[in-house]
Amino acid sequence: MSKKIDERIPRELGEGVLPMHAAIKSPWDKLMSYHDAAHYVQRYQGVISAAIMQAFRILVPDYVDRSKAICKNAYNRLAYLNRIPGVAAYQTTENNTHPFCAGNFPGAMIGDAGDECLLMCGRVNDFGTYRAEKELDVCYWDIVGSELCRSTTQSLQACADVQAELRRKGPRLEFHMVEAKGCGDRHCRIVAESREKYPMPEHEQWECFGPVATADQIKYTKEEDTVKESMIFREECGYRFTNGTNWERDPKSSVYPLASTSNGACYILPTFDDLVREGTLDADEVTRVLKCVCEAAGKAAFGEFYAREGLRSWLGVPREIDDGRVVGAYIEMYLQSARIPYDIEAFNKDEVVYTIDRMALSNRLNRMIDTYLAYWYGATKTLVSAEWSLWEDAEGCPEDKVRVRIAKKIDKFC
């Protein structure tokens, strides 16, 4: 390995000389603003999650079976997380939840704040002991699949239910996603109702897409009144997220870490673990199918020549460079936008080598690193050429790092 880093402007060059940018930058100093990086990471992870969902659909062909599995995992996982000592209390404090709020309706505030962090902008339309309603105008997860939409509803339910245990007993709202952008609706909409006040027939956990009893109370926001940005990026909000109980966040404290740690993969990959544990799926088969799907997704990402040209322009790639450095730069922009630490071991016309923080890259999800590697491998083939490859080079690599190598490679079995 040459360990030569050439033909890129050092990261720190010029630091402090000119006014600082809140931005990430390519090896050739093209900047992407904090705002754009936040949006980019959300959509990037949405695309990866969509690929993972396709693997799920291959492994578990039945929609109901998938939905049951992912909803059950979502509820149990979030209930578990919220029962970790201090977590629910922290959320209660952060949201300025009043001690007199009996029941689980304050849980709606958790979802509201989380949405804003994930740049899923919209508005709360109702918030009361017996009914709550939240409407979204934007959702970066809307390409993943409706199974995910159902499961996120269950994660909201879990947060609300567990947090209610901290206060006096009161009415329980049942959360439904009555509209979903993932299903083609203009908005995502959660309507949560108390079955004491608004009785409805019982249903299975995965059937949390309505109907609801109070559909006539829905406040539908017309297209011309919708928003495109979260409060933190809107002047009319003073570039602050503020909820009804005066919980405030600014752009610095709102987006990260949630924007880079919460995504569709966080729902699907743990579901695979459940199904492997139950014996429904075989672990090796899961990994195999994931790799196949994600490799194809990566190849498709830059299969169209204008996608390739668009990326090159976005990165500011010099015209004469058409090798592994383009892939490296593409990956670096993602790692920076996701705030995943990495070091550059080599960056030259023959090879590019990164060592990436393993924990951050995995996001503590089983098979997440496999997913990225497969996707980036596929992307390498179309972004540069079939002569090039990308793989994990573990030899001599510290355990807490992932070494990714991009170089020409002949593989008779690829």
Partner 1 sequence: MYKNIYKYDDMKRSEHMAVRTTAGWYLWTHELMEVKGADAAAFLDYVCANPIANLAVGRERYTTMLDESAEIIDDVVVFRMAEELFWVSTLFVNAMKGWFDTHKGSYQIEYENITPKWHMFAVQGPRSRDIINALVAEPVDDQRFFSIRDNRIGELPVKINRAGFTGEKLGYEIYVAADQADAIEQALNEVSPKFDARQVTEFQVMAWTLPTEAGFYYMRDLRHTNPLEVGLDRGIGWDKDFIGKDALLKIREKGPAREMVGFTVEEADIHINGKHLGGPGEAVCVDGEEVGRVSKIVYGYVKDTNIGYILAKKGSLKVGDHVSIHGHEAVITEKSFL
Contact residues for partner 1, defined by CB under 8 A: 93, 96, 98-102, 105, 112, 123-131, 168, 170-171, 197, 214, 216-221, 225, 231, 234, 236-238, 241-246, 248
Instruction: Identify which of residues 7 and 248 has a Cβ nearer to partner 1 in the complex.
Output: 248
DSSP character for 221?
Answer: P
Q: Give the three-state DSSP class for 124.
A: strand
Angle between helices 146-164 and 87-94 (to 10 degrees): 90
Supply the minimum distance, in Å, between the C-beta of residue 373 and partner 1.
Answer: 40
Distance spanning both ends of the chain, measured CA to CA? 23
Helix axes 146-164, 107-117, angle to 10 degrees: 130
Burial of 201 (0-12, 13-18, 19+ CB in 10 A): exposed
Among residues 35 and 197, whose Cβ is nearest to partner 1? 197
Least separation in angstroms between residue 133's CB and partner 1 is: 9
Smallest distance, partner 1 to C-beta of residue 171, A: 7
Which residue's CB is nearer to partner 1, number 221 or number 261? Answer: 221
The residue (of 57 and 167) whose beta carbon lies closer to partner 1 is: 167
Query: Closest separation between CB of residue 124 and partner 1, Å?
Result: 4
**Nearest distance, CB of residue 106 and partner 1, angstroms:** 9
Contacts of 395 (CB under 8 A, 6+ apart): none
**H-helix segments, 243-394:** 251-254, 258-261, 265-278, 283-301, 305-315, 324-337, 358-362, 368-383
Least spacing, CB of residue 136 vs partner 1, in Å? 13
> Are 104 and 172 a contacting pair, CB within 8 Å?
yes
Q: Which is nearer to partner 1, 63 or 90 (CB)?
A: 90
Minimal distance in Å, beta carbon 218 to partner 1? 6
Q: Which is nearer to partner 1, 219 or 364 (CB)?
A: 219
Residue among 44 and 130 whose Cβ is closer to partner 1: 130
Q: Which residue's CB is nearer to partner 1, number 127 or number 375?
A: 127
Which residues does 129 contact at the CB level (< 8 Å), separation at least 6? 101, 102, 103, 105, 170, 171, 194
Cβ atoms of 389 and 358 closer than 8 Å: no
Nearest-approach distance from CB 193 to partner 1, in angstroms: 12
**φ, ψ of residue 380 in degrees (nearest 5):** -60, -40
Number of helices (H) and strands (E) in the chain: give both, helices first.
Answer: 13, 12
Least distance to partner 1, CB of residue 137, Å: 12
Q: Please, what's the b/e burial string for 388-400 (b: 16 or more CB within 10 A of its CB; e: otherwise)?
A: bbbbeeeeebeee
Among the listed residues 189, 192, 187, the one whose alpha carbon sits nearest the alpha carbon of residue 225: 187
Cβ-based nearer residue to partner 1, 88 or 275: 88
Residue among 369, 414, 354 at smallest CA distance from 388 = 414
Min dist. Cβ of residue 138 to partner 1 (A):
14
Phi/psi at 121 (5° precision)? -85, 155
Please report where in the chains the tokens 């090159």 appear, as a residue: 312
Of the pair 213, 283, the CB lying nearest partner 1 is at 213
